[in-house]
Homo-oligomer: A and B are copies of this chain.
């Protein structure tokens, strides 16, 4: 694995996602300066804890339930997809000698670990391809810390699907709201916000499953605040996927201790020397408190349709649409022209990628493979794909031109056929954006591609069915049991 490539990719992902999340202007501008400190509202931690303890599945709006289910399905898919990466092999073998009872599964694999180590390993697995879900306002990948924590817990102590989904939504809500309160300053300075805010999400969700009372939830959030995970400098190494995994385990650790009345401070989020003041120069507590139970950050989750930096997504989307609408094949193509935002060439200008990972930094490869295969999944960024002679030949015909009028979420793309006919597509928002979300069918396709070679087609179908109908399951932990590698 070329280290430099991987580093650049992930740095890229962070940068471009941040640009998408905060609007076009911010892509080229520094972060907003820290506001002068306003007095913190009282009882931020307690108010949040009280809400979490009282919130039930019945109170969730239908769209939030639905997005929660999609979050779950997407997460299981990426966790299965990453499960045989070297990163998981290493972590699993390193931790096996220390693991407790075999309480929980590793998705896509056959080992079992205690709940905390299983949560860690599934969290790692789900983030390896940087292909998991994204809360665009904060670039938090919400499911990694939260779903990893509660699916492992649900295997140890059965929980019905409604309560499980409620815990998932509340965990996502918690981490995204806390992330909003400190973003972008907290992220800009160097924290990997998925791991620093994520631990709150994991603690909140685990705390729901453990039935914490209000005071215990306050303490769980306090112990979570004491265990932030991850720095952006580690992007490009296995340490990046470490972060959501460790956040999941830390959140369980916090909730389990709190469940036995291990105490913390009552104001760990908002106190003078608490989390937000210590870890960020921005603290906007209204993001945590306003509209609890009324507006849901969990409804704003998005899923990547393509396994590469988001800056390439409009281009791949346009190419696939034109290909499918016009049944275009590689041998017909004279040229693929496109007007792109400057970030595209800055971040993905690699002309001759030689390994799969390098393909993620090549607008030339990404466009060519999208036209040839009609997809942009992990398999389209494999060594096989970047060495395919048809794709290699086609990528020389990709002609990007920087146009400052194009926003990063846009592309203006024209395919010129050898017979002179042209096909044009302007993308305002790519598939996978908040404005144009992936359909359920898209999510299934992504899941199937990720599980291919790990689970059988029938097993893949079965796991997806369980995810879609999670709200009816007597025990949500069955999803994990259904997603392990079988003898076949």
Contacts and interface: CB of A to CB of B under 8 A. Distances in A.
Interface stretch (A50-58, A265-273, A324-332): A265-273
A182 interface: no
Contacts of A260: 90-91, 93-94
A99 interface: yes
A273 B231 contact: yes
Contact of A237 (B190, B195, B242, B265): B265
Interface string A174-198: 0000000000000001111001000
A239 interface: yes
Nearest to A3: B263
A462 B93 CA distance: 38
A250 B236 CA distance: 21
B231 A190 contact: no
**Copies of this chain in its oligomeric complex:** 2
Interface stretch (A222-230, A378-386, A439-447): A222-230
Interface in A219-270: 219, 222-223, 225-239, 242-243, 246, 253, 256-257, 259-265, 267-268
B100 A234 contact: no
B99 A268 contact: no
A297 B222 CA distance: 32
Interface string A65-103: 000000000000000000000010011011101111101
Contact of A227 (B229, B237, B257): B229
A230 B275 CA distance: 9
B239 A231 contact: no
A286 interface: no
A115 B98 contact: yes
Interface in A167-217: 189-192, 195
A262 B91 contact: yes
Interface of A: 87, 90-91, 93-95, 97-101, 103, 114-116, 189-192, 195, 219, 222-223, 225-239, 242-243, 246, 253, 256-257, 259-265, 267-268, 271-275, 277-278
30 contacts: A90-B260, A90-B261, A91-B257, A91-B260, A91-B262, A94-B260, A97-B100, A98-B101, A98-B103, A98-B114, A99-B100, A189-B273, A189-B278, A190-B273, A192-B226, A219-B239, A222-B237, A222-B239, A223-B239, A225-B231, A226-B230, A227-B246, A231-B274, A231-B278, A233-B267, A233-B271, A233-B272, A235-B265, A238-B263, A242-B262
Interface pairs A-B: 10 shortest CB-CB:
A190-B278, A190-B273, A239-B264, A233-B274, A94-B260, A232-B273, A233-B271, A237-B263, A100-B100, A233-B273
